[in-house]
Amino acid sequence: MIARRRQVALALTAVLAGGAACQAQHHRATVHAGHPAPQAARGFTLVASGDVLPNSSIIDRARFDGGGNSYDFRPMLAGVEPVVSRADVALCHMESTFKSPPEVARALAATGYDGCSTASDHTLDDGAEGVRRTLDALDGAGVRHAGSARTEAEAHTVTLLRAGPAKVAHLAYTSDTDGLPLPPGEPWAVDLMNEDQIIADARAARRAGADVVVVSLHWGTEWQDAPDEQQLALARRLTASRTGDRPDIDLILGAHAHVPQAYEKVNGTWVVYGMGDQIAGEMYDNAGAQDPRGNQSTIARFTFAQPARPGGRWQVTRAEFIPQLFDVDAGRVVNLNHALEQGADAEGVRDRIRDVALSRGAAKDGLLMGE
């Protein structure tokens, strides 16, 4: 399956359009404006979604939507734009490197995404050059990024995003690189998952001014609905880490399994073990069989409240998941709640995603299915 995915992800090579070079105004050290909240706001909403995997059929669809002469990925995401654009900060997960058209980044920006995790088992598919192209394209679109780097200085710079009245740090790591070695002389090209390093980076983010620390993890076992033992153990350890009277990490967002996985509150901190694939063509499991779960996912949405005193923890006051489906025939991401309203035959898929999201008892901690 891994070899197949790499072959599919690299199916079409496109030359990056002009203007995708890194620009100083998009440097990771700056605080991005995000979606400004009203001056009187005392909290913010964060949304996050799963793998963007532009395989060959996705690229073909984008070219069709672009009139045959260019690539337009925006129509694919139009169905979730209302959810994404209304959040104070929105995070995506870029599964592959940009040997696919850079218009993917522009579509993510147009949909309302502020930042994207770029640490995955495919980050090094095209070596250091692939990392550079990916980050240049995201910079050119105004989408911030975490998890891979072009320089050592960039690797050691905290990605901070503005979310209403708060500064949110986004950190990202991958459990492996699909067997590919780190580029010679560039051990910092992608952030590898290591408990001690994640905690150290989270504490550094606090010192850099972060009110909320969000960690994206590319982890888990492909095609497995339930989180594996590595996920469960690492989630326990990371959420238990504290400095003073508040945890070092405020939210964990998982990707990689290609299927939706559970949400759970661990040591008082929300963990999304896996959001699933937001954009992907027909997906095939480890046995080579087409598996529709590979086109099912959730958007995670968390509402944070400002602490009563400076330096206190920003608490999640509302936790939600929104069930999604990528319709491979239409080439569109579908909010399944809206599909039901329109009479689409989506109830069974929605209910399956709901059951998985709640499978570790998150309902008792207040997790809701959002609209």
DSSP 49-101: EEEE---HHHHHHHHHHTTTSS---HHHHGGGHHHHHTSSEEEEEE-S-TTS-
pLDDT at position 254 is 98
- Hey, what amino acid is at 367? L
Give, for 285, the enclosing helix (H) or strand (E).
none
pLDDT at position 176 is 96
Given a contact cutoff of 8 angstroms between Cβ atoms, the answer to whether 134 and 161 are in contact is: no
Tally of domains in the chain: 1
297: β partners:
276, 324
* Per-position b or e across 14-51, b if 16+ CB within 10 A of its CB: eebeeebebeeebebeeebebbebeeeeebbbbbbbbb
Of 131, 133, 145, 254, give the one whose Cα is nearest residue 187.
Answer: 131
pLDDT at position 91 is 98
Residue 20 structural domain: 2-369
How remote is the C-alpha of 143 from its chain's centroid?
A: 12
Show Cβ contacts of residue 137 under 8 Å, excluding neighbours closer than 6 positions: 16, 20, 98, 102, 104, 105
CATH of the domain at 77: 3.60.21.10
End-to-end CA distance of the chain: 34
94: β partners:
52
Cα–Cα separations (whole angstroms), residue 189 to 4, 5, 342? 24, 21, 45
Given a contact cutoff of 8 angstroms between Cβ atoms, the answer to whether 325 and 354 are in contact is: no
pLDDT at position 319 is 98
Q: Which residue positions in the chain have pLDDT lower than 50?
A: 1-41
pLDDT at position 34 is 47
Q: Report the 10 Å Cβ neighbour count for 209.
A: 11
